[in-house]
Amino acid sequence: MPSVLIVDDSVVARSTVARALSQVPGLEVLRPVPSGELALQRCATRPPDVVVLDVEMPGLGGLATLELLRELTPETKVIVFSGHTSAGAEVTLEALARGAADVVAKPVDGRLSESSLAELVGKIRGLTEREPAAALIPHRRASTGAGPIDALVVGVSTGGPNALMELVPQLPGDLPVPVLIVQHMPPLFTGLLAERLDKRSELQVREGVHGAPVRPGEVWIAPGDRHMRVRAAGREQQLLLDDGPQENSCRPAVDVLFRSAAACYGSRLLAVVMTGMGQDGLRGAEQIVAGGGQVLAQDEATSVVWGMPGAIVRGGLADRVLPLGELAQEIRRRVTRRADRAPEGEA
């Protein structure tokens, strides 16, 4: 039974969350604490499986508490509370960069909605439950991956900001294909993530804009709470954003992007599915493979949660299963053959 510790200086917030979680079967909710100092004392004697941490606290701040928790009990997963402002999102994104596993919106006025509670419980269970060993046996499809590539699509969720911070800066500035990314994050976060990646990368990284042309050497990240698609528009491709229904309880959803890219690029598409809980991207990857495209999956050892890439592997859709540190090299190898293999006169 996963144990959960709530750390928040607001008595209303910590009591509200602790009371709500205590009603959920299969969770052990430890007595909440109001400060980082007390959280470290509690974790030193009995490390919980998950800490839900407010990152904006007086005294020992949330970021300092997070770093000390990671040193004290590295097996404990930390979910951070996000404020509802740009400043709160910036601090939360920094917490993710320092090792927090995921983020949830902090209750407003002490109220935790049903949907927010379900999201928090889902994240706790996703971070603590493991698949039966038999289900983790990888099944790989036989593919040479020899065809030319015109676009790269990426799906990622829990653990994604850090994974993208490692992957994207390793891609060269003269990458001959566009990169389209769905990272499950709320509004505000995706724009800030794009800014951080842009500063650290040779490629231009931006948050998706409706109607924007899709060109080589550019990286687009789907905005929080908007689906992002790609479609052919004459001789070029362009982005489409919409507020359609959630898929896999997500908006943006990886499946939405993958399906549209499969229809647009066919066999000249490379997809990468990285760390994240759930199975978003599985159905879209099926369509990519059916159209002759290629799919790479991050391995379990380097994933914070192996739900999304694990579903790809178990479905027999992965051309290769690679550690995070080797994905960029494999992407470069596959896309740079584009110029060598494409027929003369073909873009």
* pLDDT tens, residue by residue, 40-72: 999 999 999 999 999 888 899 899 999 999 999
- Looking at 107, 129, 151, the residue that finishes a domain is 129
- pLDDT tens per residue across span 86-109: 778 888 899 999 999 999 887 776
Q: Among residues 106, 129, 152, which one ends one of the domains?
A: 129
Residues 36 and 142 in one domain: no
Q: Residues 297-334: pLDDT tens digits?
A: 999 999 999 999 999 999 999 999 999 999 999 999 99
pLDDT of 236 above 60: yes
Which CATH number fits the domain that encloses residue 42?
3.40.50.2300
Residues 220, 262, single domain; the answer is: yes
Task: Give the SS3 label for residue 125.
Answer: helix
280 catalytically annotated: yes
Q: Answer yes or no: do 116 and 142 share one domain.
A: no
DSSP state of 80: E
- Active site residue: 54, 102, 255, 280, which one? 280
Q: Average of pLDDT values for 127-155?
A: 70
- Does residue 68 share a domain with residue 189? no
Range of the structural domain that residue 290 is part of: 135-341
179 part of a folded domain? yes
Residue 347 within any structural domain of the chain:
no
| DSSP tally for the chain: helices H, then strands E | 12, 15
Total of domains in the chain: 2
Q: How confident is the model at residue 167 (pLDDT cuts 50, 70, 90)?
A: very high
Same domain, 331 and 191: yes
Domain identity same for 141 and 114? no
* Cβ neighbour number for residue 89 with a 10 Å cutoff: 23
The reply to whether 255 belongs to the active site is no
Is 196 found in the same domain as 116?
Answer: no
pLDDT score of 19 more than 90: yes
The answer to whether residues 90 and 196 belong to one domain is no
Do residue 147 and residue 243 come from a single domain? yes
Considering only 24-38, 75-89, 151-165, 245-259, which range has the smallest mean pLDDT? 75-89
Pick from 31-40, 77-86, 90-99: least confident: 77-86
Q: Answer yes or no: is pLDDT of 158 > 90.
A: yes
C-alpha distances (whole Å) from 206 to each of 26, 192, 217, 258, 332 are 41, 9, 12, 19, 21
Taking alpha carbons only, the member of 281, 344, 342 closest to residue 149 is 342
Candidates 8, 49, 54, 184; catalytic one: 184
Residue of 341 and 21 predicted with greater confidence: 21
Provide the pLDDT for residue 113: 79
Per-residue confidence band for 110, with pLDDT thresholds at 50, 70 and 90: low
CATH number at residue 152: 3.40.50.180
Name the pLDDT band for 341 (thresholds 50, 70, 90). Answer: very low
Q: Is residue 178 domain-shared with residue 103, that is, in the same domain?
A: no
Q: Judge if 111 and 158 occupy the same domain.
A: no
346 occurs within a structural domain = no
Q: Per residue in 240-273, pLDDT tens?
A: 999 999 999 999 999 999 999 999 999 999 999 9
Question: With pLDDT > 70 as the criterion, what percentage of the chain qualifies?
Answer: 90
Establish if 187 belongs to a structural domain. yes
Residue at which a domain ends, from 99, 129, 159:
129
The pLDDT value given to residue 143: 59
Tell me if residue 260 is catalytic: no
Per-residue pLDDT, averaged over 151-180, amounts to: 97
Which of these is catalytic: 8, 54, 150, 157? 157
Examine residue 100 and state whether it is found in any structural domain, yes or no.
yes
Specify the pTM.
0.89
CA 316 to chain centre: 22
Where is mean pLDDT largest: 136-145, 219-228, 337-346? 219-228
pLDDT confidence of residue 344: 43
314 and 209 co-located in one domain: yes
Among all chains, which residue has been given the structure tokens 């419980």?
121
